[in-house]
Every structure is written in C-alpha cells, then in structure tokens.
C-alpha cells in the first residue's frame, strides 16, 4: 500500500514538473495599466508580440502594431529582444519573463541600466 502511494505521489509530482517546464508565453496578455491586449506568438522559433486590442478608443490606431519581434530565449522562461514603446515610438532592449502561467513581466531597458517594466496577465 505504501509503495502504491509513493508511486502515485512521484507520478503526480513528475507530471506537475512537466507542466511547469512546458509553460510558454504564447497567447493573449493584458497590460493592467492600459488594458491593451497583445498576442504573443512563435515567429521562426523566436517570440513576437502584436497589439490585438486596446481599451482606449484614442489608441485604436495601435492595433496591429508589432511591439516585440525576434526575441530569443535566453534562459528558463526568459526571452530577450527589441521592444517597441508605442507611446514614444522608441525601441528598447526588452526582456520578457514568464513568472507563471498567468503572469508575464515585460521590461524595456536603456543601456541595460535604466529599466521599466510591468507584469501582464493572461487573458
């Protein structure tokens, strides 16, 4: 009986670990501060993101804008690449970090010293 319980527990833990490692940033994420929704997708083995919806009608022209393209996986749950700030029109060094299945931290940096970011939520 103990052996069966141990095997079931070991199998459950192994299954959970597999799911945790399989987490990917793909899908639609919402930026809490603006309500903007971005679809992150695989583009040639890299991470890309495009604005698919905006909360503020004045920002409607941003729909379809690619804000991240060609971000390469640089570690467990981390992708690095260029990140467009649609408000300023400037492109920064960006880092996307998948914190968990429902939290994606997106950060833009200038000279790898001055960084600003926000944790987005899965739609």
The share of the chain scoring above pLDDT 90, in percent, equals: 74
pLDDT of 7 strictly over 70? no
Predicted pLDDT of residue 113: 77
Round the average pLDDT of the chain to a whole number and report it. 85
pTM of the model: 0.79
pLDDT of 114 strictly over 80? yes
Question: What tens digit of pLDDT does each residue of 8-22 get?
Answer: 333 344 333 433 445
Q: Which of 96, 66, 64 is nearest to 80 (CA)?
A: 96
- Across the chain, the runs of DSSP E, i.e. the strands, are 27-30, 37-43, 46-53, 66-75, 78-85, 90-100, 103-110, 114-122
* Pairing mode, strands 37-43 and 46-53: antiparallel
């Amino acid at each position: 009986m103990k052996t069966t319980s141990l095997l079931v527990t070991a199998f459950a833990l192994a299954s959970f670990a597999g799911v945790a490692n399989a987490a990917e940033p793909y899908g639609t994420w919402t930026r809490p501060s603006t309500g903007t929704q971005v679809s992150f997708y695989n583009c040639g083995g890299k991470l890309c993101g495009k604005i698919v919806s905006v909360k503020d009608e004045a920002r409607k022209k941003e729909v379809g804008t690619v804000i991240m393209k060609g971000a390469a996986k640089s570690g467990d749950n981390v992708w690095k690449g260029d990140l467009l700030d649609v408000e300023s029109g400037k492109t920064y060094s960006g880092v996307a970090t998948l914190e968990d299945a429902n939290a994606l931290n997106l950060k833009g940096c200038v000279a790898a010293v001055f960084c600003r970011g926000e944790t987005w939520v899965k739609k």
